[in-house]
Amino acid sequence: MLLDNPEKGTHRSFKYLEPCYAVACILDVFHENQRLDREGKSTVTAASDCWIDNDRLRRDVFDRACRFWCYRTGLNHTYFPLSVDAVARLYHRIRKRRAEEVENFEANIEEACRKLGPCRGE
């Protein structure tokens, strides 16, 4: 965790910056892209370079990542700590990994997010 001592006042104030929330929201977008591809509702595969190369698709990934992040943290979009470029870089790191790697990584991220819980009212 970013801030290991929950007894300190800053821990609660900066909890929304924990990396697990950022990575989890990108994984959410990636899985949504996989689902849309499986259902034939997308012309772009989840692992395509287009998601990070095309400005419209980069913005789409950013907007959906922000939405997932808000859902996970309970905060509104003004707290979202990532830029379009940061989201694109994270998506790029995830999209070409083997399914087994993504599953293992996701399990670790979900465990970290579960331990932290939502940020509502903090």
pLDDT in tens, 36-46: 999 999 999 99
Q: At what angle do helices 84-95 and 55-73 cross, to 10 degrees?
A: 90
Determine what percent of the chain is predicted with pLDDT higher than 90: 67
Under the banding of pLDDT at 50, 70 and 90, the label for residue 118 is confident
Taking 80 as the threshold, does the pLDDT of residue 22 lie above it? yes
Instruction: Note the pLDDT tens digit of each residue in 73-114.
Output: 999 999 999 999 999 999 999 998 888 998 998 999 999 998
**Is 29 in contact with 61 (CB distance < 8 Å)?**
yes
DSSP codes of every residue in 22-85: HHHHHHHHHHHHHHHHHTT--SS-TT-THHHHSHHHHHHHHHHHHHHHHHHH---GGG----HH
Can you give the pTM of this predicted structure?
0.86
Cα–Cα distance measured from residue 112 to residue 35, given in angstroms and rounded to the nearest whole number? 24
